[in-house]
Amino acid sequence: MLYRTVTNPLRHTNQSWRRGRSNCSVDTSRNMRRDKHSTASQSNREDRSRSPINNSSFPSSSTSSSDHYSKPDTNTNTVFRRAFKYYKKRDPRPDLSEVIEPRLMEGRMIDNCSSVTNDSFSSLGLRPLSEWKVITFPDRVGLYLLPDLLTPSGHSEWIRHGLEYSMDGNNKTNIALHSDEPLVLFLRLLSYCFDSTLKLIPFSLTVQSDFRSLRWTTLGIHYDWATKEYPSSGHPLPSELSSLASIVVSALGLQEIKADTTIVNYYPPKSTLSPHVDRSERTHRIPLVSLSVGRPAIYLTGGRSLDDPVLPILLQSGDVLVMDGDQRLVYHAVPAILPPGERKGPLEEEREREE
């Protein structure tokens, strides 16, 4: 299936969350190898303000960018809005040479993490902690990228989770799913995002309509889209979601959390997520954790103003992004979903495969 699922973010709304820090550290002496692209990326991120997407000559946007959790912004001529429109366009295609690719960058290894064990890693589809690397940005303290955390089977399991969540009666979606057809049909379609040579199984019109229309599923304490608030209670969050969030923040040495709500966003090939700030949670003092599964996407992260410099990042299946501290309330967006499969050349070639 041609879509991308993001558990974005794991939103903790309980005021009784635990305080404290885990006993973990990042070993700066055990650096990952760097290649030409990594070196270029390091140079690019040292002064992102020089990028063409961050100057006034960038074309103005007239696209609406409403925030799902707050009032929409109507100012169309801002740095972020121009960047969003630029990476969203399909003809002509944007120059993607400025896009950061975390998997090709130097990272720091996680070390001395006594509060995290590998016992639950396999059940969550996670690679051993010794294989994790962390990418940070000097000018964006609180933004963490942890690329390629999932095992090969972990990708399939989290895709399955994302689908099963949408059909669980305790969860809410943007549509009322009413299909009784076997789950295996959906999973077969989902697997297409990894192998485009698969022959698709015919689906009923009802299933096709449901699947094309599915955009989000909420779990745990459900976000109220009408009031733009979270209620005080809800259903328990699936254990794999809360465990994933706890492991990630513990490995980074951040405040311990017990996540109690999640929004899963589903992205068809030409869909986007407009610039917004996640500010509806009851507290902004704890990190948000995002897991990307499925198709790669361009992710934009900015600042608290729509005129702050914008950083474009390639997120791929299995990548985790964490927003903490000053990065907790920055504008972010997804302007483009890229074609399926492993990256085998320039990003421009990936875009061409979708045509």
Residues tagged in the binding site annotation for Fe cation: 276, 278, 332
Using CA atoms, how far residue 132 sits from 90, 111, 333, in Å, is 34, 10, 25
Helix axes 205-213, 183-190, angle to 10 degrees: 60
Binding-site entries: 276, 278, 332
Q: From CA 6, how far away is CA 2, in angstroms rounded?
A: 14
Task: Report in angstroms the alpha-carbon separations of 7 from 85, 163, 189, 288, 293.
Answer: 24, 12, 20, 10, 8
Instruction: State the alpha helices, DSSP H only, in 47-110.
Output: 79-88
Question: Closest by alpha carbon to 148, among 287, 7, 292?
Answer: 292
Where does the chain show beta strands of DSSP type E? Answer: 4-10, 25-31, 108-111, 133-136, 143-146, 172-173, 216-220, 261-267, 273-276, 288-294, 297-301, 311-315, 320-323, 332-337
Q: Nearest-5° angle of CA 299, CA 301, CA 302?
A: 150
The amino acid occupying position 105 is M
278 CB-near residues (< 8 Å, 6+ apart):
9, 11, 69, 288, 323, 328, 329
Radius of gyration of the chain (CA): 20
The answer, yes or no, to whether the previous bond of 231 is cis (omega within 30 of 0) is no
3-state secondary structure of 241: helix
The whole-angstrom separation of Cα 214 and Cα 201 is 19
Tokens of 309: 């410099």
